[in-house]
């Protein structure tokens, strides 16, 4: 997917990959711990589109996150993810 994020809305997604990551832009480990998620949209008009998001908080063990369904919400262009444990 380009740098453009999905339009505002709610999307069913699947976590394809996850890894621990610093939340700072440089990715040099200087920021607080976060998690990088590679997501694929699983339904609707944007089905099969992929995107990578980096959280500013640690979401859990990356191994446990891979393969989990999640809900992506985009509001005013700002994404948030809820992992559906």
Is the pLDDT at 4 greater than 70, yes or no?
no
What is the value of pTM for the model shown? 0.81
Query: Which residues lie closer than 8 Å to 23 by C-beta, 6 or more apart?
Result: 31, 32, 33, 34, 54, 55, 56, 57
Per the DSSP assignment, residues forming a β-bridge with 49 are none
pLDDT digits (tens, 9 = 90+) for 36-70: 999 999 999 999 999 999 988 899 999 999 999 99
pLDDT single digits (tens) 7-30: 999 999 999 999 998 755 555 556
């Amino acid at each position: 997917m380009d740098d453009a994020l999905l339009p505002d809305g709610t999307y069913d997604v699947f976590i394809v990959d996850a890894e621990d990551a610093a939340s700072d832009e440089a990715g040099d480990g200087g920021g607080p711990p976060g998690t990088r998620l590679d997501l694929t949209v699983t339904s609707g008009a944007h089905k099969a589109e992929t995107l990578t998001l980096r959280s500013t908080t640690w979401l859990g063990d990356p191994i446990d996150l891979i393969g989990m369904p999640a809900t992506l919400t985009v509001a005013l262009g700002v994404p948030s993810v809820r992992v559906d444990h």
